[in-house]
Structure 1
Amino acid sequence: MNAQRPHPTPKRPTRPLRTLRIATLGITRCAVGTLVLTRAVDTLRITGIDRLTATHLAWVARLAGIRDLALGAGLLAALTTNRDTTTWLWAGMIADAANVSVFATSTARGHLPPVLGTAMTTAALGGVAAAPLTRTTHTGPGE
């Protein structure tokens, strides 16, 4: 009388939805990387750093921009050539997790304004959380 019903398994994205999500991650990462790379001083100024200090530290922001641009381009290249995107997704998650740590610590220590630091931490956390949304039950090239 106690027949066990199978528990519904959570739905995973279909291949077209997975592809869209991966493409969105790649494009977003490329856009952020390009913005930071080309507007490094302005990007740093948003955090409250004065123009002179931002000019001296722009190279650090450019490094982050280049990293995101490379991760996004690699992800998109793997996606468009039907290669496995897993390594690119993991690399992006690791980079975003490092950003979460840095932004949260900087905010807690008062180096970033609370609202901006929270927004930056949340955005980086979104990058960490977004990659698992691309998982699917399908296997094969690019999966």
Structure 2
Amino acid sequence: MNAQRRRPTPKRPTGPIRTLHTATLGITRCAVGTLVLTRAVDTLRITGVDRLTATRLAWVARLAGIRDLALGAGLLTAMATGRDTATWLWAGMIADAADVSVFTASTARGHLPPALGTAMATAALGGVAAAAPLTRTTHTGPGE
């Protein structure tokens, strides 16, 4: 029994792969945000909301679009200026985790069709999973 045995550390994207991965997240978030912001009524209609209600509630969808556009633009700006991207990645993951919770609860309560609610929750969870490897830090010290 070797007390000094090192455990393998999870892989973390580095160099050009990390840059591409981070940029892809930022661009994707900006694209989704722009789509929801500019097509708010259509976005709500996809969830089964009638046109009149979607028109009245479009401002809520636009809030989500603005949020995603701001998070994506912040991430891309941090990259372009050489600043730390961790805060933007964490903010995006927290927003996506909140979306998972809302979509799951809405589906469970019957406010969203099961297939659509599951797809939306899965997409939001995918955002969390895509950003998570970029937030890992490598610790090197005594006993590690």
Q: What is the TM-score of this pair, normalised by structure 1?
A: 0.89
Q: What's the CA shift string for 1:74-96, capped at 9, x where partnerless?
A: 00000111100011011101111
- In the other structure, the counterpart of 2:108 is 108
More displaced stretch, 93-102 vs 11-20: 11-20
Q: Is the 8 A contact 1:36 1:62 kept in 2?
A: yes
1:83 maps to 83
Aligned to 2:55: 55
The aligned counterpart of 1:97 is 97
Matched, 1:68 2:68: yes
Cα distance in 2 between the residues matched to 1:10 and 1:90: 18
**Separation in 2 of the partners of 1:136 and 1:8?**
14
Question: 1:118 corresponds to which residue?
Answer: 118
Say whether the 8 Å CA contact 1:100–1:124 is kept in structure 2: yes
AA matched with 1:82: G
Is the CA contact (8 Å cut-off) linking 1:13 and 1:136 kept in structure 2?
Answer: no
Cα 1:5–1:90 shift into 2, 3 Å: closer
Task: Specify the alignment match of 1:132 in structure 2.
Answer: 132
5+ residue gaps in structure 2? 140-144
Deviation of 1:136 after TM superposition, in Å, equals 5.5
Q: 1:12 to 1:54 in 2, by over 3 A?
A: same
| Deviation readout 1:35-90 (Å, 9 max, x if unpaired) | 00000000000000000000000000000000000000000000111100011011
Following TM superposition, by how much is the alpha carbon of 1:127 offset from its aligned partner in structure 2, in angstroms?
1.0
Report if aligned partners of 1:34, 1:69 keep a CA contact under 8 Å in 2. Answer: yes
Ranked by relative contact order (alpha carbons within 8 Å, sequence separation 6 or more), the top structure is 1
Q: 2: CA distance between counterparts of 1:11 and 1:99?
A: 27
The CA distance in 2 between the partners of 1:9 and 1:126, in whole Å, is: 22
Q: Give me the whole-angstrom Cα distance separating, in 1, the residues matched to 2:63 and 2:27.
A: 18
1:53 maps to amino acid: T
2:81 and 2:40 map into 1 onto residues whose CA distance is 31
2-side partners of 1:48 and 1:131: how far apart? 30
CA pair 80-136 structure 1, distance change in 2 beyond 3 A: farther
Maintained 8 Å contact 1:97/1:128: yes
Seq. identity, %: 83
Matches of 2:12 and 2:76, distance apart in 1: 21
Instruction: Tell me the distance in 2 between the aligned counterparts of 1:60 and 1:84.
Output: 30
Partner of 2:12: 12
